[in-house]
């Protein structure tokens, strides 16, 4: 008589972690714990090298980055890869730049895994709009300047299905993700729909890293700012009156430095 034995597969868990915009100090404690506990870390192109340096050597590191014009893997393949590791009983940490639920396709990955009975824990991260603008001294809202903000992505499979007329007329801050390659089109479209061409704009490159660069100007100069300074991705575009605050902070900092030098000179003269 044959003895039939049954075996059950113990599925691993997946932590879907938002790594924030670049500075490892902006990782949440929960994100750090998930990364440290992982057997496998699957990470994106937008996860900064500073954050990658925090990945434990004991874990397997798998790069699945997607950049404009070059995808190492299609999204469907990434979904399958995450599931395959989890089905081996491994603890998987899927690390995504910013917040996984803000233009990060984290919702798609979560649903794909849940449909296969794989437990998913989502760890929110600081989205680029908040992190990069803050590091550039640009508040997203400011009394008297903007009572709200709108996030949009300029990346779409076919065309941008956005009500540009409404965006141009809102007295709000407009933050555009993945808009660098469409800077001229964005500039012309907003002006065409009635936005004042002197509206302040900022482009923030490599936000929240040691390589951050910020360039400011007016809406009519948006494309020129991007090309003249040879801005590279990742970059964020901020449009609105709040951009003026950064220049005010810069002026105050320069004033403080001049006053400090003046005080030092006075002390030396009277010593």
CA distances (Å), origin 6, targets 1, 9, 87, 90, 140: 16, 10, 17, 21, 58
Q: Left, alpha or beta for 6 (phi > 0: left; psi -120 to 50: alpha)?
A: beta
Segment holding 17, helix H or strand E: strand 14-18
Tokens coding 170: 């809102």
> Is residue 161 flagged as an active site residue?
no
Options 44, 96, 99, 182, the catalytic residue: 44
> Is residue 158 flagged as an active site residue?
no
Options 30, 33, 66, 244, the catalytic residue: 66
Residue 132 CB neighbours (<10 A): 28
Sheet holding 213-218, edge to edge: 149-153, 173-177, 235-239, 200-205, 213-218
Give catalytic residue positions.
44, 66
């Amino acid at each position: 008589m044959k003895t039939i034995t049954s075996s059950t597969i113990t599925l691993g868990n997946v932590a879907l972690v938002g790594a924030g915009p670049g500075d490892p100090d902006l990782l949440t404690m929960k994100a750090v714990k998930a990364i440290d506990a992982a057997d496998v870390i699957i990470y994106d192109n937008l996860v900064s090298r500073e954050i990658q340096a925090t990945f434990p050597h004991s874990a397997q590191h798998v790069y699945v980055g997607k950049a404009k014009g070059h995808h190492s893997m299609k999204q469907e393949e990434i979904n399958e890869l995450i599931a395959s590791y989890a089905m081996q009983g491994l603890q998987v940490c899927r690390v995504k730049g910013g917040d996984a639920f803000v233009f990060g396709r984290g919702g798609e990955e979560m649903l794909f895994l849940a449909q296969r009975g794989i437990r998913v824990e989502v760890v929110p991260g600081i989205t680029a709009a908040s992190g990069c603008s803050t590091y550039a001294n640009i508040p997203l809202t400011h009394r008297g300047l903007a009572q709200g903000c709108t996030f949009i992505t300029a990346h779409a499979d076919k065309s941008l299905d956005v009500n540009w007329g409404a965006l141009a007329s809102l007295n709000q801050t407009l933050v555009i993700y993945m808009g660098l390659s469409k800077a001229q089109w964005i500039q012309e479209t907003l002006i065409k729909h009635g936005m004042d061409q002197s509206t302040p704009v900022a482009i923030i490159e490599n936000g929240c890293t040691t390589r951050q660069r910020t360039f400011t100007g007016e809406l009519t100069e948006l494309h020129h700012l991007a090309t003249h300074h040879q801005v590279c991705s990742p970059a964020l575009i901020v449009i609105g009156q709040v951009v003026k605050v950064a220049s005010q902070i810069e002026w105050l900092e320069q004033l403080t430095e001049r006053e400090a030098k003046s005080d030092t000179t006075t002390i030396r003269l009277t010593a």
